Amino acid sequence: MIERFSRSEAETERIADELAARLRPGSLLLLSGPLGAGKTAFVRGLARGLGCDPASVSSPTFTIVQEYPGRITLQHVDLYRLSPDEIEDIGLDELRQGAVMAVEWAEHWQPAPGDGIDVRIEKLEGSGRRILIALPDDGDRRAGTHGAGQR
């Protein structure tokens, strides 16, 4: 388990930018945290690290999936408004082949694939954030603890 602390949106982006160096096509990031925690800022950092334009990253709440071309294509998914049946119909497993996929509100995807990287962002005092990153081979990884129940 990797634990990082951020005091600003720029630091959150930097943490994600560093993580992007470990990612390959087919990598899946399962992002969870309360509304306003910084999930989209984290995705902006991923975009920068993958050679995509970070300025083009916005919350895909109404489009569900946005794709950003780069050295490695980034797919940005938001499951906030979807039911489990709707999520299943999208076919996210097939969609992510050949790209890095970052899924906001990943706790709505049940069961989520076991090969994903869990990224939990917790709000702290002021603009502080605690970011917990569990890689698939992490002994601390606990399937199904993507911050269920948080909105």
Residue at 98 is within a domain: yes
**Residue 36's domain spans which residues?**
2-134
Strand partners, 134: 118
Residue at 20 is within a domain: yes
Residue-wise pLDDT tens digits, 88-116: 888 787 777 889 999 999 998 888 888 99
- CATH code for the domain in which residue 79 is found: 3.40.50.300
User: Is the link from the previous residue into 136 a cis peptide, with omega within 30 of 0?
Assistant: no
Please give the pLDDT value at position 90. 81
Residue at 140 is within a domain: no
Residue at 27 is within a domain: yes
Please give the pLDDT value at position 72. 95
Residue at 143 is within a domain: no
pLDDT < 70 positions in the chain: 60-61, 138-151
Please give the pLDDT value at position 9. 94
Please give the pLDDT value at position 110. 84
Please give the pLDDT value at position 24. 94
